[in-house]
Structure 1
Amino acid sequence: MSNYLYSTSFVFCLTETCPSCSDLQKIFKLSKTDYQEICSLLNIDPSEDWRATKILSKMLTFWTVKKTKEALKKLIKGKIVLIFGAGPSLEETLEQLRESLPFSHDNITTIAVDGAANALLEKNIPITALVSDLDGCFNLLQKNILQTTIKVIHAHGDNIQRLLLLKDIVQKGRFIGTTQTKETLKVRNYGGFTDGDRAAYLAANFHAKAIILFGFDFGAIVGRYSKPDEHTGHFSASARKLLKFKIAKKLLTALPQHFPESSFFNATINSSLETSLFQTIEIEKVVSLLPNERHY
């Protein structure tokens, strides 16, 4: 009997004693069917994804990954997790949040999606975790600026050279590895495909009380923080980028159905993510979700 149960969009690991996933009894992952469909749509070579996964796995130390993963679980479980995408609305969002939200509150955890980390740093907003495939924050990682932040780094065929350049930093820092194909003991599949939806799946799998999306515009214009090393301003989305947005929206739409114990909100200004399963919330009302207790 297989240790994995596949659904239309996800696969569940049912082996509680599995050494690579004993920390999570059920993990939602991208199913083989969905992965193959995405590979076909985007002309992805699965063998290159697997090669990248093995390269990242060799860089990581099992016990360091385990310790880092346990630390991140404690920072997410039962908390309100704010996930910041790099959409064009991000800068306006951060300005509004700084006026109304105590980021140092014990019940708040912030996750930056790739290049959005640059914007949060500019606004002096603490970053608990970074979820990235190295497209938009490579310089930050190469300069080892985010030393105290937990880095959840994704391996795929297009970022192998970047992974290799970060070898020394990865081996010494607080890193967790993720993949969209087969797993190893040190590189896991927590669901999702793009950095943004992958961050949401990670938070849900680690039992966040509430997940709130910011900067998830999914429009024809891409925010400048998506690729800050290449663009100084917002830019038009390519056909490939729009296709990735479509995939991300599909995966996000499915997410709340499988985690009924968590609440899901979308605080993105003018988001094209149209699903009633993510409650729309105004930025100034996010603070109302915090428990009535002392702010630190």
Structure 2
Amino acid sequence: MSIKDGWFSETEVLWPGQKFSLEVKEVLFHERSDFQDVLVFDSVHYGKVLVLDGVIQLTERDECSYQEMLTHIPCFAQGHPKKVLIVGGGDGGVLREIARHPGVETIHMCEIDSMVCEVSKRFEFCTASAFGDARLKLVHEDAAEFVKKEGNNGYDVIIVDSSDPVGPAETLFQPSFYQNMKQALAPMGVIATQGECLWLHLPLITTVLRACAEIFGSVDYAFTTVPSYPSGQIGFVLASVEERDLSTPASTPNAAMTEVLRYYSPEVHQAAFVLPVFAEKEIAGVRRRSSKE
């Protein structure tokens, strides 16, 4: 356990030479599942924290910026999703946000590690509020195999809320997985995947975008700020089979959703695609934006 003198420090995996630390009030849970080390602790300033294999997955203080953006960018870019697939997301945050879309009729969720779901519910994370939604079908399987098996299932939106490309999530960054997601999309469907950090993983990001550009008609990159993530920032790979503008919402939140959102807005949606100069120089040549823009 990476806790010393009352402080938790992340394990260096994809960001050598730096660590993020949080002061611990109480360790609530620590066990190893069939797939990874799972740690839950209550922190001094960030609320409850979920850690997988030594890396922070969420804190209750700043989870909204990740969950809302990963969910609502593809949903509002698509416009009116009815059938949604969530890959990963065992803490329930993406599920919570999908459940806020009244037009969604079916939610499939594939999380390989049931322990992540169970501890999120057991310790009442603010993200774990929609597991009882009647629209949800939750399975615990290998996501790469699940998506391949699903075939042409007509999903309007597929959201991949994965950990970093090591361990059980490694297969979710391979071109074959993106190809299988393409087959599972409905016409005008949109995918969004966790896309790593511009400050730390730009070569990996451009590799993924280049591979996606061989598969999809539109491929783009957006980002958000998350203080407890490495370098305080994380991005998303967005793609659609058709050539389209993913940076402009095709619909907007209704009044009820607007009341509960803490980070996402149509304006923030569009701004998320405006990249800093150093990243724009690298990504501009590998993304695929609509020729009409």
**TM-score tier after normalising by the smaller chain length:** 0.3 to 0.5
| More helix by percentage | 1
TM-score by length of 2: 0.33
| More strand by percentage | 2
TM-score by length of 1: 0.33
Q: Which has the higher contact order (CA 8 A, sep 6+)?
A: 1
